Structure 1
Amino acid sequence: MVVEKATRTYRMSRRADAMEDTRRRITEAIVELHGSIGPARTTIAGIAETAGVQRHTVYRYFPTEEDQLAACAAHFWGLHPRPDLEGWQAVGEPAERITNALKQLYAFYSEVEPMLVNSLRDAVEMPAVERALGSMAAFLEDATSLLSAGWSPARGRKRFVVAAVRHALAFDTWRSLVREAGLSTNDAAKLMATMVAAAKTTP
């Protein structure tokens, strides 16, 4: 009786491990495809082929598009965490704070570029993708508020500082400076920090 119980427990454990392995392989397949061809071009057949499973297995674990996107986002951002806002806040001087923040953010963008390019492109036609990007948008809004503080701008210049910070934080700004203009991450960060500093006084 004890042996039978131990055998059942062992089999259940192995089955749970096999299910978790299958879920992981499907999730990694979704991440790979979203990063290479984008969510809009990713199909159940493509996921199944990449993961080495049957189509019905994909549906069993991730029955909806939202389920697939949620799994992809959780896995991908777990591997590529966004910069730490609390670490930025610990830097008291605003010019130093935004320079350090932009260096970290731009390095982060270089890691996640393919996924963001595809996701932002496909979000236009896929509301589910736009919703999945909501946490990134919220992060950038929080970062804008944090990095806009402490500048003591001239009267009426606060909105210019906020606009400059928001522009500096944008993914498209990084791509323009680094990918198109050929600046290094550090040089791009310094340039944008200088722009933000100028925004507090420049008419």
Structure 2
Amino acid sequence: MSKRTEQISGTHQRIIDAAVTLHGSVGPARTTIAGIAEKAGVTRLTVYRHFSDDEALFSACSSHWLSQQQLPDPEEWSRHTEPHERLTVGLSDLYRFYRDGDAMLVRIYRDWDSLPQKHRSDLESRNTHFRDVLLEAFPERNRNPRLSATLSHGISFWTWRSLCHDNGLSNDDAVEVMCTLITTAVGVKERPDAPTLENTGARRP
């Protein structure tokens, strides 16, 4: 019984690994059950025995990939109360995550319409939470649609990719550009002693 359980567990993990590999190479839209089965060395029926539908398989794939990443930590951002400082820490953390996970993330966001609805909703909720954590550092008088829009733009994966992947900026330069854009857009002046990346303790890429 123990050996049988081990075999089932091994097959289950091979299917997940195959799905992760294909999602990160050809993208979710081009990943098929047949392709996953072939890469995992099993039949399509075996895949369906382990995962009842595409959503279950995508969920397992997503959870496995995320477990291998250093995820953004908005609780850490919240420790910084000054707006520019929190922006610097938060965007630095996000942009590091985007750079580390670029190969997978670009395909996930490119194939957005192919993702299960639940996972699209989860990603949207996560980004809303990231934006709101950054928003909370700003005075009430500055919390308006312009600030919300520029914050949403700043935390977008595609914003990072345009600045850094497409146009060659370092993460540090991209963070500085976006912090300036966001604070200028709402008239929040940077303090003379505003933190740099070095003295916030944020990690460099």
1:73 corresponds to: 62
1:186 alignment counterpart: 172
What are the Cα deviations for residues 53-94 of structure 1, in whole angstroms up to 9, with x where unaligned?
222211211131112111111111121253111111011211
Give CA-to-partner distance per residue, 1:132-169, whole Å, 9 cap, x none.
233222111011111112322756x6222221111100
Counterpart contact for 1:27–1:72, Cα < 8 Å: yes
One-letter identity of the residue aligned with 1:181: N
Asked if residue 117 in structure 1 is aligned to residue 106 in structure 2, the reply is yes
Structure whose CA Rg is larger: 1
Structure 1 runs not aligned, ≥5 long: 1-11
Q: 1:133 is paired with a residue of what secondary structure?
A: helix
Q: What is the TM-score of this pair, normalised by structure 2?
A: 0.84
Structure 2, unaligned stretches of length 5 or more? 189-205
Question: Aligned pair 1:82/2:71, yes or no?
Answer: yes
Report which stretch shifted further, 25-34 or 70-79: 70-79
1:54 paired to 2:52: no
CA RMSD, Structure 1 to Structure 2 (Å): 1.8
2: CA distance between counterparts of 1:58 and 1:67?
11
Between the two proteins, what is the percent identity of the paired residues? 39
Note if contact 1:89-1:97 (Cα within 8 Å) is conserved in structure 2.
Answer: yes
The alpha carbon displacement at 1:123 in A equals: 2.4
> 1-side partners of 2:152 and 2:56: how far apart?
31
State how far apart, in whole Å, the 2-side matches of 1:92 and 1:151 are. 9
Cross-structure match for 1:145 = 132
Moved over 3 A (4+): none
User: Between Structure 1 and Structure 2, which shows a larger proportion of helix residues?
Assistant: 1
Q: 1:9-36 deviations in whole A, cap 9, x for unaligned?
A: xxx1111111111111110100110111
1:7 corresponding residue in structure 2: none
Which fold has the larger relative contact order, with Cα–Cα distance below 8 Å and residues 6 or more apart in sequence?
2
What does residue range 16-27 of structure 1 map to in structure 2 within 5 Å? 16-27=5-16
